[in-house]
Structure 1
Amino acid sequence: MRLSLILPALAVALVPGVASAETAVTPTPPAAEAAAPAAPEIPQSRAQIALSFAPVVRQVAPAVVNVYSMQKTVDPFYSDDPFLRRFFGRQQPRGGSALGSGVIVDPSGLMVTNAHVIKNASEIRVGFNDRREADAKLLLRDARSDLAVLQIEGDGPFPTIPFAPADELETGDLVLAIGNPFGVGQTVTQGIVSATARTQVGVADQQFFIQTDAAINPGNSGGGLIDMAGRLVGINSAIYSRSGGSNGIGFAIPAETVRLVVEAAKSDGVVHRPWLGAKLENVTRELARQLGLDRPAGAVVVELSEDGPARRAGIRVADVITAVDGVPVTDIDSFSYAFATRGTEGETEITFERASTRQTAALTLERPPESEPRDTRRLGGRSPFAGATVQNLSPAVADELNIDMTATGVVIARVNERTPAARFGLRPGDIVRSVNGNRVETTEDLERMTRQRARYWDLDIERDGRRLSVVFGG
């Protein structure tokens, strides 16, 4: 439903002069005269007097809730040291809380919020706009999209907001942001869609957002961005601000990503993203000139997996992907969003440029395989890796850790706090290439190397595509 101003019509009638034979002595007017315009119509309804978003707000407000998450932390000074516990006793957890918003999307009580709102939460409660409260339990937390799905406890059906179609939202559309900023209570702000495909925002790994100038403030996180038909177009996630308050630049996670995470929560609780089987890079101006492109847009294929879907579909190195099912691809982030929201079943049409010729390929949508057994091992001993959990790389493991799916070798999957691995700065996603000059190919290799005593540790690590060489004392 679009809102429009209703203007009274102006009717103009032209009345020519008429001469009569019986009154010939009366002079004929020298020219036709225009009649006066008709009087403006009196407004017949409130909608003709003023615009109001009240009908939309009444429809969606019951499905937007406040989210209260309680977090328990223990002072790390005490940890689990039996010596310290003997003198100071067992340290009691300290409470903390986080405040955000959420949107109910299923009558059974499934609701969506931001992953960062309920991070480390030990207890979650939601508050409705009629002041009722209920407990909620976490079903799925996907840090890559910064989304979490909760189940509200209690009898339904609950009020919901439907998802908006992915292809209808346009820059300039009116939207409402609904949430609980600063904990003052449910609040509605109005604005427009400033952009529909913002990337490089730095909020979540998915890197694809709706930008809006509707005021979004702390506490709005997880609330809904609503169109004029009362449909969910996005989940408010972040703002660009120098002061901490709204500067008219807010970002929301698109409804298509939200739908993907909700469907995962309904099935097996894992967000499955399709496997391309290729490594991509952004098209720079120089690369566009070399490839004969008229502009620097798209994602160029720089590496292919041996038996990946891209190679099987006929895609080659140096092909420039420009669209997924007709959705334009401007860079790697826009490709990742368009491709990930296609699911893991059926096929998708990939449009690409090869030698200045536009071509298409039908690519099979499938989950990344675990072609190499991950052989998970937690390392100990006196090496810099003590406290790290490592796995053999495969497309499935790479997808879980959000690293290049064509990578091979051994990767650090987890690093426990307050361990040598954490103190030496190792991170999840680091690929271990060699230790003391010895190449690492499997987790068994790395575990064997870390059992040995050494005067020093010379590590070759790949992080975010860069090679790091570091030396630690033994």
Structure 2
Amino acid sequence: MMQTNNMTRHVSKLLLVSLVAVLALLAVVLSPLFTANAQETSFFGNEKRVPQSQAEVELSYAPLVKQVSPAVVNVYSKKVVRQNASPFANDPVFRQFFGTPRERVQNSLGSGVIVGDGVIVTNNHVVADADELLVVLSDRREYEAELILADERTDLAVLRIDTECEPLPTVEYGDTRDTEVGDIVLAIGNPFGVGQTVTTGIISATARTDVGVSDYSFFLQTDAAVNPGNSGGALVNTKGELVGINSAIFSRSGGSNGIGFAIPAEMVKRVVDAAVNEGRIVRPWLGLKAQSVTYDIAKAQGLSRPVGVMVTEVFDDGPADKAGLKRGDLITEIDGREVFDETGLKFLAATRSPGEISSLRILHGGKYEDVKVTLAPPPGATKAELELLEGRHPFSGAEVAELSPRLAEEMGRDPFASGVLVTRILRRAYAWRIVRPGDLIVSINDEPIKTLKDLDEALAEETSRWAIELDRNGRRISGTVTL
């Protein structure tokens, strides 16, 4: 019996040793697989790791640059400037005694991007007031360019060149809605005129609305080095898609401080499409005014954080009014994108065309609702009906126009404002003593002035005393004039 028990113990020890040996062998065999798995998990989990191969060490943006850079061009503009020009400069007698005014050619350089068949987009400030435009491709081909649309309010301009059917490289638009902070981007342009240069960085912020460069501010911010001459150049993602047009830098010295601003591709596409298809851009509007949501407003609305804009005014019979929006409604999203101020709301609406439908997410009566709004252009004529004021009154020699929402939008003024706008004043006219171009005539002798008819009736009165109220850059000015 004792012998049997001893044999059992020996067999058990032998089995245990064998099991341990088998497990050790399995660990040796499977160890590389677990290591590879760990590395793969580390890679796809976005954890830091060292390069695993020579190919990864030698990764480069060169193929991307070769793909995109041929579509980035240099834009040269020339402007003839007369020095010491006199109002009598065209008079032959004046020229006989004083000679022809001296002229000099003012040159400026920027960049541009080919986005279609001979169609190039750049910044408006690159080509503003130019007498001649020249586009130079990356392969040194040169073409005279025609300006087909200049939009000062977005700081975009669209040019066209005739290549006589020769194909041109182009850049495809990216979807700016997919662009996030941290995305790698490349800035391509011609800084300081040294030749085409590529810099890289990341998107450091999106939806910058407080830059003040244009009326429709909704910039992408990047730390890719952008310098003078980069204006109008391409900001592209790692897919080689255009995500923005480099437009401005934040700088105290004139050089790059790592804060550059680019106009998002969705607005670029809207302006280019309008230029090519319509020859002009008509911006839709929502027909409302709004204010940003503060922490106190958010708390009162039961929100966990400040988001959206509060509707403060609705234009009668405008798109928002027809959709049922009311004062006090809180708009949190437009077309699925959050908004934080009126500028952002205005920009996102302007990327669409009149007649299209936008979806607004609103908080109304404590409940969220999705409201469909059919966008429309502001009411009013595209061109103002101008009237030159003459007679014995304080506005003699002033040219005026009745302010409509559409005219106000075109001039970058409040579309809810009403009155008569001073557009021009004749040289040496009496009106220079009272008003300036851009002033809004609000009232005369305590009578509100909203239309040209109101103004004509007020000025037709036989009086020598005029109590006048003006709106100058948002500031009310009032006084009395005696003739």
Shorter-chain TM-score range? 0.7 to 0.9
Q: What is the match of residue 441 of structure 2?
A: 432
* Correspondent of 1:126 among 126, 131, 135: 135
The reply on whether 1:137 has 2:142 as its aligned counterpart is no
Change in CA separation of 1:471 and 1:215 when aligned onto 2, cut-off 3 Å: farther
Structure 1: give runs of 5+ residues left out of the alignment. Answer: 1-19
| 1:401/1:413 contact within 8 Å kept | no
Change in CA separation of 1:150 and 1:456 when aligned onto 2, cut-off 3 Å: farther
The reply on whether 1:253 has 2:263 as its aligned counterpart is yes
The reply on whether 1:335 has 2:345 as its aligned counterpart is yes
The reply on whether 1:313 has 2:351 as its aligned counterpart is no
* Correspondent of 1:164 among 171, 174, 178: 174
Q: What is the match of residue 74 of structure 1?
A: 82
Residue identity in the other structure for 1:49: V
Q: Alpha-carbon deviations, 1:171-210, whole Å to 9, x = none?
A: 1111000000000000000000111211100111111100
The reply on whether 1:101 has 2:111 as its aligned counterpart is yes
Q: Offset at 1:305? A: 1.6
Q: What is the match of residue 196 of structure 2?
A: 186
The reply on whether 1:150 has 2:166 as its aligned counterpart is no
Q: What is the match of residue 47 of structure 2?
A: none
Query: What SS does the corresponding residue of 2:275 show, helix, strand or coil?
Result: helix
Number of matched residues?
Answer: 449
| 1:375/1:443 contact within 8 Å kept | no
The reply on whether 1:199 has 2:209 as its aligned counterpart is yes
Q: Offset at 1:407? A: 2.2
| 1:291/1:355 contact within 8 Å kept | no
Residue identity in the other structure for 1:329: V
* Correspondent of 1:62 among 51, 60, 70: 70
Q: Alpha-carbon deviations, 1:88-111, whole Å to 9, x = none?
A: 1342432101111000100x2110
* Correspondent of 1:213 among 201, 223, 235: 223
| 1:100/1:180 contact within 8 Å kept | yes
Residue identity in the other structure for 1:249: I
Q: Which runs of structure 2 are paired with 1:10-21 in the superposition (5 Å)?
A: none
Q: Offset at 1:383? A: 7.2
Q: What is the match of residue 334 of structure 2?
A: 324
| 1:304/1:406 contact within 8 Å kept | no
Change in CA separation of 1:374 and 1:135 when aligned onto 2, cut-off 3 Å: closer
Q: Offset at 1:434? A: 2.1
Q: What is the match of residue 314 of structure 2?
A: 304
Query: What SS does the corresponding residue of 1:167 show, helix, strand or coil?
Result: helix
Query: What SS does the corresponding residue of 2:131 show, helix, strand or coil?
Result: strand
Q: Offset at 1:135? A: 0.6
| 1:299/1:330 contact within 8 Å kept | yes
Q: What is the match of residue 244 of structure 2?
A: 234
Change in CA separation of 1:154 and 1:289 when aligned onto 2, cut-off 3 Å: same
Q: What is the match of residue 461 of structure 1?
A: 470
Q: What is the match of residue 345 of structure 1?
A: 355
| 1:292/1:355 contact within 8 Å kept | no
The reply on whether 1:375 has 2:385 as its aligned counterpart is yes
Residue identity in the other structure for 1:95: V
Q: Distance in 2 between matches of 1:384 and 1:246?
A: 50
Residue identity in the other structure for 2:450: E
Q: Distance in 2 between matches of 1:173 and 1:150?
A: 30
Residue identity in the other structure for 1:133: E
Query: What SS does the corresponding residue of 1:391 show, helix, strand or coil?
Result: strand
* Correspondent of 1:392 among 388, 394, 402: 402
Q: Distance in 2 between matches of 1:373 and 1:172?
A: 44
Q: Distance in 2 between matches of 1:114 and 1:343?
A: 21
User: More deviation in 417-426 or 279-288?
Assistant: 417-426
The reply on whether 1:110 has 2:123 as its aligned counterpart is no
Q: Alpha-carbon deviations, 1:36-59, whole Å to 9, x = none?
A: 987x99x99874332211111101
Change in CA separation of 1:316 and 1:223 when aligned onto 2, cut-off 3 Å: same
Residue identity in the other structure for 1:232: L
| Structure with the greater alpha carbon radius of gyration | 2
Q: Distance in 2 between matches of 1:387 and 1:378?
A: 7
Q: Offset at 1:467? A: 2.3
Q: Alpha-carbon deviations, 1:382-436, whole Å to 9, x = none?
A: 87756754221222212211222222221234578998778877343x4220245
| 2:395/2:435 contact within 8 Å kept | no
Q: Alpha-carbon deviations, 1:147-166, whole Å to 9, x = none?
A: 00001133232211010023
| 2:223/2:260 contact within 8 Å kept | yes
Q: What is the match of residue 6 of structure 1?
A: none
Q: Distance in 2 between matches of 1:238 and 1:446?
A: 42
Residue identity in the other structure for 1:206: Y
Change in CA separation of 1:381 and 1:134 when aligned onto 2, cut-off 3 Å: farther
Change in CA separation of 1:113 and 1:418 when aligned onto 2, cut-off 3 Å: farther
Output the aligned Cα RMSD: 3.6
Query: What SS does the corresponding residue of 1:121 show, helix, strand or coil?
Result: coil
Residue identity in the other structure for 1:176: L
Q: Which runs of structure 2 are paired with 1:21-100 in the superposition (5 Å)?
A: 32=24, 35=28, 47-75=55-83, 77-80=85-88, 82=91, 84-100=94-110
Structure 2: give runs of 5+ residues left out of the alignment. Answer: 1-12, 37-50
Q: Distance in 2 between matches of 1:312 and 1:68?
A: 47
Q: Distance in 2 between matches of 1:252 and 1:158?
A: 24
Residue identity in the other structure for 1:215: A
Residue identity in the other structure for 2:120: M
Residue identity in the other structure for 1:250: G
Q: Which runs of structure 2 are paired with 1:383-422 in the superposition (5 Å)?
A: 389-413=399-423
Q: Distance in 2 between matches of 1:385 and 1:154?
A: 52
**Higher normalized helix content (fraction of residues):** 2
| 1:279/1:405 contact within 8 Å kept | no
Query: What SS does the corresponding residue of 1:48 show, helix, strand or coil?
Result: helix
Q: Distance in 2 between matches of 1:388 and 1:158?
A: 50
Q: Offset at 1:215? A: 0.1
Residue identity in the other structure for 1:161: V
Query: What SS does the corresponding residue of 1:408 show, helix, strand or coil?
Result: coil
TM-score by length of 2: 0.82
Change in CA separation of 1:117 and 1:359 when aligned onto 2, cut-off 3 Å: same
Residue identity in the other structure for 1:152: I
